[in-house]
């Protein structure tokens, strides 16, 4: 019942989102944000396995080219590059084990690249994210999972800070440590430069943006960011993403992809949620 009500509210947003999209630049590259792909976790951040596969097939059926975040960043620096092509980027936050078990095999089947943002201070520690406390665990990928796919041409790992703290609630020194130490640990473990960063809960602060600009090539948010365009210079450390949620299912995936559910972000800001 809960998800049906959420879905109904989203459907009511669609007409207004469509009208709002008419006033926006049309050559943006959608950056999709996933967290979990797991039938057994009935939360908004966890899409079902069947819906995830359907969504990947939708992208292929509708003629989208799924590109890496590296490619999107390069296109953002080239005015007019590939303007006529429909492109999209896939990202996954937190590094849950079900990415390895359920999402990665589907990505391999379709040949779709993705960026996965890890929280190294939680990997193989038994620590539980606050939103998973009701589950009793945060089942994240182990290092052997991560290392087994680190050389895949489809996968790039990025940082989601060291311990997933809200960057607007800690000191500037602590924020710099969160961004820099996670980058160092991931570099040591993976053996390659860590170029991509994801702000926890999409919260951007001036200090965090400054740190991200010095430490990473790109940094992604959620509702507070800015679209990445194929039309020239872009602030690559405040990239907006579109959150794919369980209640989106199949009927709302297309509207989400087109930015017609952006009013959701405004509502969450109004009530102080991220």
Please determine, for residue 272, whether its predicted confidence score (pLDDT) is greater than 50: no
Of 75, 101, 99, residue with least CA distance to 86: 75
Has domain 2-268 been given CATH number 3.40.50.2300? Answer: no
Q: What is the dihedral of CA 161, 164, 170, 176, to 10 degrees?
A: 0
Please determine, for residue 263, whether its predicted confidence score (pLDDT) is greater than 70: no
Strand ranges inside 106-254, DSSP E: 114-118, 155-159, 196-198, 218-220, 228-229, 242-243
Mean pLDDT confidence for 195-201: 98
d(CA 142, CA 191): 17
| Per-residue confidence (pLDDT) for residue 12, from 0 to 100 | 58
| Per-residue confidence (pLDDT) for residue 80, from 0 to 100 | 60
* 216 close to 66: Cβ distance less than 8 angstroms: no
Q: What is the average pLDDT value for the chain, to the nearest integer?
A: 88
User: Which helix or strand (DSSP H or E) is residue 93 part of?
Assistant: strand 87-94
* 133 close to 179: Cβ distance less than 8 angstroms: no
- Grade residue 245 by pLDDT with cuts at 50, 70 and 90: very high
Bigger pLDDT: 67 vs 229: 67
Of all residues in the chain, the percent with pLDDT exceeding 70 is: 81
Which tokens hold the place of 249? 């299912």
Render pLDDT for 52-75 as a digit per residue (tens, 0 to 9). 999 999 999 999 999 999 999 998
Bigger pLDDT: 237 vs 80: 237
Interacting residues of 81 by C-beta distance below 8 A, sequence separation 6+: 75, 230
How is 102-161 classified by DSSP, letter by letter?
A: IIHHHHHHHT--EEEEE-GGGTTT----GGGTTTT---BPPHHHHHHHTT-TTEEEEE--
* 49 close to 39: Cβ distance less than 8 angstroms: yes
Of 157, 201, 202, 160, residue with least CA distance to 178: 160
Which tokens hold the place of 125? 């520690």
- Least-confidence region, from 23-27, 144-148, 158-162: 23-27
Bigger pLDDT: 77 vs 135: 135
- Least-confidence region, from 3-17, 77-91, 244-258: 3-17
| Per-residue confidence (pLDDT) for residue 28, from 0 to 100 | 84
Mean pLDDT confidence for 94-117: 99
Give the three-state DSSP class for 216.
coil
* 232 close to 77: Cβ distance less than 8 angstroms: yes
The domain spans of the chain are 2-268
Phi then psi dihedrals of residue 116, to 5 deg: -115, 125
Render pLDDT for 180-191 as a digit per residue (tens, 0 to 9). 999 999 999 999
| Per-residue confidence (pLDDT) for residue 267, from 0 to 100 | 46
* 199 close to 220: Cβ distance less than 8 angstroms: yes
Looking at the chain, how many residues does it have?
274
Render pLDDT for 112-153 as a digit per residue (tens, 0 to 9). 999 999 999 999 999 999 999 999 999 999 999 999 999 999
Please determine, for residue 169, whether its predicted confidence score (pLDDT) is greater than 80: yes
Please determine, for residue 13, whether its predicted confidence score (pLDDT) is greater than 80: no
| Per-residue confidence (pLDDT) for residue 58, from 0 to 100 | 98
d(CA 88, CA 92): 14
């Amino acid at each position: 019942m809960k998800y049906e009500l959420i879905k109904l509210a989203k459907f009511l947003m669609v007409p207004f989102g469509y009208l709002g999209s008419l006033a926006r630049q049309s050559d943006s590259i959608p950056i999709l944000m996933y967290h979990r792909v797991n039938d057994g976790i009935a939360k908004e951040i966890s899409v079902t396995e069947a819906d995830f596969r359907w969504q990947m097939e939708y992208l292929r059926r509708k003629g989208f080219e799924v590109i890496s975040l590296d490619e999107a960043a390069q296109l953002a620096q080239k005015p007019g590059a590939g303007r006529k092509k429909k492109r999209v980027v896939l990202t996954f936050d937190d590094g849950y084990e079900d990415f390895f078990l359920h999402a990665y095999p589907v990505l391999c089947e379709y040949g779709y690249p993705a960026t996965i943002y890890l929280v190294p201070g939680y990997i193989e520690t038994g620590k539980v994210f606050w939103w998973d406390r009701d589950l009793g665990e945060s089942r994240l990928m182990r290092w052997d999972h991560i290392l087994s796919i680190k050389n895949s041409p489809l996968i790039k790992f990025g940082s989601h800070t060291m311990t997933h703290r809200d960057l607007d609630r800690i000191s500037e020194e602590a924020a710099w440590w969160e961004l820099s130490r996670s980058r160092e640990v991931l570099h040591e473990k993976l053996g390659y430069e860590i170029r991509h960063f994801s702000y926890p809960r999409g919260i951007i602060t001036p200090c965090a943006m400054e740190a991200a600009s010095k430490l990473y090539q790109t940094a992604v948010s959620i509702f507070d960011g800015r679209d990445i365009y194929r039309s020239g210079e872009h602030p690559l450390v405040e990239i907006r993403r579109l959150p794919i949620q369980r209640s989106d299912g199949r009927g709302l995936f297309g509207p989400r992809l087109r930015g017609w559910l952006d009013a959701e972000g405004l509502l969450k800001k109004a009530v102080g949620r991220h």
